[in-house]
C-alpha cells in the first residue's frame, strides 16, 4: 500500500527576501499578530537543503556551508508537496541554508532571528558560528544574532535539525512512528514548518506582554517584560476602541511593573459578539524617545468554573466543540496560506460548532488570530503523544516546551482551556513507573496554573491526576448504549479506569471525544481508511445516528459540553464532517441544525 497524495495542489511561486510582504513569498503575513512590529524581513521562500541520514553533517562541517544542491520551499516541511520535496520516509537529520542580509536601516538595534516552529531539535549557524540551539517541535523561539552579523553584509545562515519520533523522549502528536500512515497517525513533519523571520529590536525593548482581561473590575491588566532595563525607562499602554483611545497608562519600567487600564463602557468578547480592543505598547528611554512599539489586541471576556459548570462572561456556557487536528493535504502541519486557517474556522461554524478542541498539535498564532476575530472558542493542546509520561527525559523535554507554548498563546481570548496531555495510555498501573506518570502530569498542571488563569484539562480522556475539567472519550455508536454509559452508578460518574485515575470531583463534565462516524465521500483515501464503528449504509442513516448520539449527550444533566470527532478527514481517518480537501460531504443545513442545539439553562 502506498500513501496517496492530496487531491489538489496549490502552486506557489518562490520568492526572494524583501522588506515588504510580497505575493511571491509563501505565508507572507506577519506570524505574531498579538506582538507585531512594523519592521521585519520574511525569510520564507527558496532555501537549499541536504538530508543527513547518517547524522554525519557535523563531521563534514556542513555548518560552514555556502549552499546545498537541492531546493526546498520554507516554511513547508520536506514531507509536504508544498515544500517541493515530498519525501515521506524518516528523516533523522537535515540541513538548511540561505543567504541573509541585514538592512542598513536597522543599524543601532539588535537583530532577532525568529522561528515559528522547527521539529524537533535545531541548531543555528551564521557563517559557520553557532548562534544557538533549541529543543521542542511545537513552540516558537528566537535567537539574538546581533554579534554575528554586520549591516549590509551577506551572511550564510545554516540550520541543522534532528527528529526522532520513535524515541519516546519527544512529543510528536499524530506523526506516524511507522513508515505508513495508520490508525490515528499520519504523515510526519520534520524541520522548519512555520515562518522564519528577522526583526530589529532595541536593546531595552519589549520581550513579551501578558494581557489579562478583568471583566468584573472592568479593566485590562498588562504585565510587560523587557529584554533589558535602563535608567529612566518608561512603558506606556494605550487601549483603543476603533480609533478612539478609551484607556491609557504609563509606568516606570521594571520587572514588577503592571499597567492597569480601566474601561468605562465595556464591550465584551464572545462567540455572539467577538469585539476586540486594539492595544499598543510603547517603551520610552530617559529622554522620552520611543525606542520600541508593539501592536496587539485583546478581548474583554471572563472564563471560569464554579461547581460543575463552565462560565463565559459570568453565564453558564455549553461548549459545542469539534476535534480539529490541523492537517492539510498539501502542507501537512502547515496551512498553505492564511486564508485556509480562516476557512477552517468558518467551515466549523457553518456546521453549528461554537469552537474546537485543537488536537495533538500546537496551532500557529495566525489560527488563534482568526479565532479571536470570528468568535471561536478553543482548547489549547500540544502534540503530547510520543513523549512517554513514564520517562524522566520526556518530562525534561516536555515541560519547558509546554511553558513556552502557554506563554506565547495565553493572550488569545478565544482560548478558554488548556489540555497538555491526551490519553496517557502508557500509565502502567500501581507501580514505580505509574508514580512517574502521575508526577509528570501533576507538575505540568501546577506549572500551567501558575502561568495562566484558564481551567486545565490535565489529560483528555485518561488518566486524570489533578484536573479542573473532567473529560471522557466514548465512541459508542449505539445511542441507547451511550445513554447507559452516562448513568451514575453507586455514586460513580463515568471514567475509563478507577484503578488508574482519581475519581470525579464535581468539576464541569465533558465528553471531549465522541462520534467519529465513518463516511467516505467518493473513493477511499487509502486502503486502510477507517472510522469508528460500522459505517452507515445511507446518508439518512448517518444523519439519524449523528442526531441521536448528540441528543443523548445533550440530555445528560451534568454535561457541560461535547467535542465531536472530527472536522475533516485526515488521510486514512475518514470520519470528518468534511473531506480532507475541505469539500463538503453532507447537507450542511442538516448538520448545523444538529450541532446548534443547546441544553436548557445554558447559553
Can you list the domains of the chain with their CATH numbers? Answer: 41-201 (2.60.120.260), 206-298 (2.60.40.10), 303-595 (3.20.20.80)
pLDDT at 519: 97
Q: Across the beta sheet with 309-312, what order do the strands follow?
A: 303-306, 309-312, 315-316
DSSP 519: -
Percent of the chain, pLDDT > 70?
96
Place of cell 520581550: 207
Pairing mode, strands 110-115 and 196-201: antiparallel
Indicate the SS3 state at residue 90.
coil
State the DSSP H helix or E strand holding residue 341, giving kind and residue range, or none if neither.
Answer: helix 338-350
pLDDT at 9: 27
Question: What does residue 96 show for φ and ψ, rounded to 5 degrees?
Answer: -120, 155
CA distance 3 to 89: 11
The DSSP-derived string for 107-171 is TTSEEEEEES-EESEEEEEETTEEEEEEE-SSS-EEEE-GGG--BT-EEEEEEEEE--TTSSSS-
Indicate the SS3 state at residue 365.
helix
Cell numbers found for residue 440:
509528570
Q: What is the pLDDT of residues 4-26, one digit of tens each?
A: 333 222 222 223 333 333 458 99
Under 8 Å between Cβ of 239 and 218: no
pLDDT at 10: 29
CA distance 239 to 233: 21
Residues 6+ apart with CB under 8 A from 579: 7, 521, 522, 568, 569, 585
pLDDT at 17: 36
CA distance 211 to 224: 8
Nearest alpha carbon to residue 567 among 409, 389, 353:
353
pLDDT at 24: 81
CA distance 279 to 262: 13
Nearest alpha carbon to residue 459 among 479, 443, 476:
443
Indicate the SS3 state at residue 483.
helix
Pairing mode, strands 277-284 and 290-298: antiparallel
Indicate the SS3 state at residue 370.
helix
Q: What is the pLDDT of residues 68-107, one digit of tens each?
A: 999 999 999 999 999 999 999 999 999 999 999 999 999 9
pLDDT at 18: 35
Under-50 pLDDT residues of the chain: 1-22
pLDDT at 428: 86
CA distance 471 to 576: 21
CA distance 357 to 419: 9
DSSP 63: G
State the DSSP H helix or E strand holding residue 451, giving kind and residue range, or none if neither.
Answer: helix 432-451
CA distance 188 to 361: 12
pLDDT at 15: 31
Model-level pTM greater than 0.85?
Answer: yes
Q: What is the pLDDT of residues 131-176, one digit of tens each?
A: 999 999 999 999 999 999 998 899 999 999 999 999 999 999 999 9
What is the total residue count of the chain? 603
Residue 463, preceding peptide bond in cis (omega within 30° of 0): yes
Under 8 Å between Cβ of 415 and 409: yes
Amino acid at each position: 500500500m502506498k500513501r496517496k497524495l492530496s487531491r489538489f495542489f496549490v502552486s506557489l511561486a518562490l520568492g526572494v527576501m524583501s522588506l515588504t510582504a510580497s505575493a511571491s513569498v509563501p505565508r507572507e503575513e506577519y506570524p505574531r499578530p498579538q506582538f507585531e512590529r512594523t519592521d521585519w524581513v520574511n525569510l520564507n521562500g527558496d532555501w537549499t537543503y541536504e538530508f543527513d541520514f547518517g547524522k554525519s553533517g557535523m563531521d563534514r562541517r556542513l555548518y560552514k556551508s555556502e549552499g546545498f544542491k537541492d531546493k526546498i520551499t520554507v516554511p513547508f516541511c520536506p514531507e509536504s508537496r508544498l515544500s517541493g520535496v515530498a519525501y515521506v520516509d524518516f528523516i533523522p537529520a537535515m540541513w538548511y541554508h540561505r543567504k541573509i542580509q541585514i538592512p542598513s536601516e536597522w543599524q543601532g538595534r539588535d537583530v532577532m532571528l525568529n522561528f515559528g516552529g522547527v521539529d524537533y531539535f535545531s541548531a543555528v549557524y551564521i557563517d559557520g558560528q553557532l548562534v544557538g540551539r533549541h529543543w521542542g517541535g511545537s513552540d516558537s523561539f528566537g535567537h539574538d544574532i546581533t554579534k554575528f552579523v554586520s549591516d549590509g553584509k551577506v551572511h550564510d545562515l545554516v540550520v541543522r535539525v534532528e527528529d526522532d519520533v520513535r524515541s519516546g523522549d519527544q512529543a510528536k502528536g499524530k506523526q506516524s512512528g511507522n513508515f505508513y500512515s495508520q490508525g490515528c497517525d499520519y504523515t510526519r513533519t520534520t524541520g522548519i514548518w512555520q515562518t522564519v523571520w528577522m526583526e530589529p529590536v532595541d536593546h531595552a525593548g519589549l520581550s513579551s506582554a501578558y494581557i489579562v482581561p478583568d471583566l468584573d473590575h472592568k479593566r485590562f491588566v498588562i504585565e510587560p517584560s523587557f529584554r533589558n532595563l535602563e535608567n529612566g525607562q518608561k512603558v506606556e499602554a494605550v487601549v483603543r476602541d476603533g480609533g478612539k483611545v478609551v484607556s491609557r497608562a504609563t509606568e516606570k519600567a521594571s520587572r514588577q511593573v503592571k499597567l492597569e487600564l480601566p474601561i468605562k463602557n465595556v464591550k465584551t468578547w464572545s462567540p455572539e459578539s467577538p469585539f476586540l480592543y486594539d492595544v499598543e505598547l510603547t517603551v520610552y528611554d530617559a529622554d522620552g524617545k520611543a525606542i520600541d512599539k508593539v501592536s496587539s489586541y485583546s478581548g474583554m471576556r471572563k472564563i471560569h468554573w464554579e461547581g460543575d459548570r463552565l462560565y463565559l462572561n459570568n453565564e453558564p456556557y455549553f461548549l459545542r466543540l469539534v476535534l480539529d487536528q490541523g492537517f492539510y493535504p498539501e502542507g501537512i502541519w502547515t496551512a498553505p496560506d492564511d486564508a485556509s486557517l480562516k476557512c477552517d474556522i468558518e467551515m466549523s461554524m457553518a456546521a453549528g460548532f461554537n469552537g474546537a478542541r485543537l488536537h495533538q498539535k500546537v496551532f500557529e498564532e495566525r489560527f488563534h488570530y482568526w479565532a479571536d476575530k470570528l468568535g471561536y472558542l478553543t482548547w489549547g493542546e500540544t502534540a503530547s503523544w510520543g513523549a512517554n509520561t513514564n520517562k524522566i527525559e520526556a518530562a525534561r523535554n516536555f515541560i519547558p516546551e509546554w511553558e513556552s507554548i502557554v506563554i506565547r498563546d495565553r493572550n488569545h481570548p478565544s482560548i478558554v482551556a488548556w489540555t497538555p496531555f491526551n490519553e496517557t495510555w502508557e500509565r502502567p498501573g500501581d507501580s514505580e513507573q505509574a508514580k512517574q506518570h502521575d508526577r509528570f502530569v501533576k507538575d505540568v498542571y501546577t506549572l500551567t496554573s501558575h502561568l495562566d488563569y484558564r481551567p486545565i484539562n490535565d489529560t483528555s480522556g485518561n488518566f486524570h491526576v489533578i484536573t479542573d475539567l473532567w473529560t471522557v472519550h466514548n465512541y459508542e455508536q449505539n445511542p441507547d448504549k451511550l445513554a447507559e454509559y452516562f448513568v451514575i452508578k453507586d455514586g460513580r460518574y463515568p471514567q475509563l479506569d478507577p484503578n488508574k485515575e482519581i475519581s470525579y470531583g464535581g468539576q464541569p463534565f465533558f465528553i471531549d471525544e465522541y462520534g467519529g462516524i465513518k463516511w467516505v465521500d467518493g473513493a477511499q483515501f487509502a486502503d486502510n481508511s477507517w472510522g469508528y464503528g460500522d459505517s452507515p449504509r445511507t446518508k439518512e442513516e448517518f444523519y439519524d445516528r449523528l442526531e441521536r448520539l448528540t441528543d443523548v449527550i445533550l440530555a445528560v444533566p451534568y454535561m457541560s459540553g461535547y467535542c465531536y470527532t472530527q472536522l475533516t478527514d485526515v488521510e486514512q481517518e475518514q470520519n470528518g464532517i468534511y473531506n480532507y480537501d475541505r469539500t463538503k460531504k453532507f447537507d450542511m443545513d442538516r448538520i448545523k441544525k444538529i450541532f446548534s442545539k443547546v441544553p436548557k439553562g445554558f447559553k
